[in-house]
């Protein structure tokens, strides 16, 4: 699974170097035999203007209602989770405090005897 997978080597035939001609002194023939009139260079394209500032987002009234309801639901859910976590910490702290008071009273009661 962790071993590398190498692609298969190319199976193309090797180039025959005896057919390669040197590039010195070559005159390239034209691509076609027809005579074209010289053309003017292509016109420079102008990029589309970029709007200034940040793009604005358009909300419909229905989308605003949905966004407000979603935000309200999110705040309520996050608030509920945070309050329940705070309540769990408070209950745990109270139970630890009660255990500490009980242990202290038991240890003091043994020392008094």
CA 77 to chain centroid, in Å, comes to 26
Under 8 Å between Cβ of 96 and 88: no
Lowest mean pLDDT among 2-11, 71-80, 102-111: 2-11
What is the per-residue pLDDT for 8?
A: 77
pLDDT band per the 50, 70, 90 thresholds, residue 77: very high
Q: Percent of the chain at pLDDT above 70? A: 59
| Confidence (pLDDT) at 15 | 62
Q: How far is the C-alpha of 76 from the C-alpha of 82, rounded, in Å?
A: 10
- DSSP conformational letter for 62: H
Q: Where are the domains of the chain?
A: 86-113
Tell me the C-alpha distance between 70 and 76, whole Å. 10
pLDDT band at 94 (very low <50, low <70, confident <90, very high): very high
* Digit-coded pLDDT (tens) for 36-76: 666 666 666 766 665 666 777 788 989 999 999 999 999 99
Annotate 66-101 with b (16+ C-beta within 10 A) or e (fewer).
eeeeeeeeeeeeeeeeeeeeeeeeeeeeeeeeeeee
Q: What is the predicted pLDDT for the residue at 64?
A: 92
pLDDT in tens, 3-48: 888 777 776 666 665 655 666 655 666 666 666 666 666 666 766 6
pTM of this prediction? Answer: 0.42
Q: Can you tell me the distance from the alpha carbon of 97 to that of 93, in angstroms, rounded to the nearest whole number?
A: 6
């Amino acid at each position: 699974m962790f071993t590398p997978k190498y692609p298969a080597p190319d199976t193309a035939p090797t180039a025959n170097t005896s057919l390669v001609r040197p590039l010195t002194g070559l005159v390239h023939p034209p691509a076609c035999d027809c005579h074209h009139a010289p053309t003017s260079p292509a016109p420079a394209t102008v990029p589309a203007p970029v709007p200034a500032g940040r793009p604005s987002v358009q909300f419909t009234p229905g989308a605003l209602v949905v966004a407000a309801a979603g935000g309200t639901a999110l705040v309520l859910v996050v608030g509920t989770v945070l309050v329940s976590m705070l309540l769990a910490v408070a209950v745990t702290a109270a139970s630890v405090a009660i255990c500490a008071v009980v242990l202290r009273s038991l240890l003091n009661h043994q020392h008094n005897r």
